[in-house]
Amino acid sequence: MKIKCKPVPKDEFYDSPDIGDFSFETNGRILLRYGPEWTDYTNLEIGGKGWVWDGNKEAPTLTPSIKCTHHDGRIFHGYLTAGELIYLNDSTIRPN
């Protein structure tokens, strides 16, 4: 499953984000919404010990894969590649 992602200003990210919305922060991090619930987002470190970013602000690619496990056992596992959020088979969080 793939979702087309879109950049949004940071001050709009938390208002009513859509799945696939992302926002670059000034501190070298990216916010990424991957699921339908308000807690289904992550704040990823770019560079250093974090993810490698291809430099594209409109359709980014991050490597390696992104895996987020919630306290209730729900899992997002996928890739952000060329501005598309790609869900892997072990991801229990899916868009509606």
pLDDT digits (tens, 9 = 90+) for 22-43: 999 888 899 999 999 888 999 9
- Residue 61 has a pLDDT of 97
DSSP 8-state secondary structure symbol assigned to residue 28: S
Residues in the chain predicted with pLDDT less than 70, given as ranges, are none
Q: Is residue 55 part of a domain?
A: yes
DSSP 8-state secondary structure symbol assigned to residue 83: T
Q: Is residue 96 part of a domain?
A: no
Q: pTM of the prediction?
A: 0.89
Q: Is residue 44 part of a domain?
A: yes
Q: Is residue 93 part of a domain?
A: no
Q: Is residue 94 part of a domain?
A: no
- Residue 78 has a pLDDT of 96
Q: How far apart are CA 13 and CA 30, in angstroms?
A: 11
Q: Is residue 10 part of a domain?
A: yes
Q: How far apart are CA 42 and CA 30, in angstroms?
A: 8
Structural domain for 53, as ranges = 2-87
Q: Is residue 95 part of a domain?
A: no
Q: How far apart are CA 12 and CA 68, in angstroms?
A: 22
- Residue 48 has a pLDDT of 78
- Residue 24 has a pLDDT of 92
- Residue 50 has a pLDDT of 84
Beta bridge partners of 54: none
Tally of domains in the chain: 1
Q: Is residue 68 part of a domain?
A: yes
- Residue 10 has a pLDDT of 86
